[in-house]
Amino acid sequence: MSIDSEAWKKEISSHEELFAQLYDHLPKEFLFMRELLRSSLWRAPKVWGQAAERE
């Protein structure tokens, strides 16, 4: 399993317009959760994956 953080950054950025449209109707926690995710992705390596097995 691997996670492409660049792809996720693009995905989160694509939600900007939707969040702006729904701003008054969304629980404020959604905005905070989105920012926490964005912050986590910013600090993450470009690609996460499993470490090679040790012998």
C-alpha–C-alpha distance, residues 5 and 10, integer Å? 9
pLDDT at 55: 67
C-alpha–C-alpha distance, residues 1 and 48, integer Å? 8
pLDDT at 9: 84
Query: Concatenated DSSP letters for the chain?
Result: -EEEHHHHHHHHHHTHHHHHHTGGGS-HHHHHHHHHHHHHHHHS-SEEEPPPPP-
Provide the residue ranges of all domains of the chain, joining segments of one domain with +: 15-46
pLDDT at 25: 92
User: Can you say how many angstroms the Cα of residue 36 is from the centroid of all Cα atoms in its chain?
Assistant: 8
pLDDT tens per residue, range 8-55: 888 888 888 898 899 899 899 998 998 898 888 888 776 666 666 666
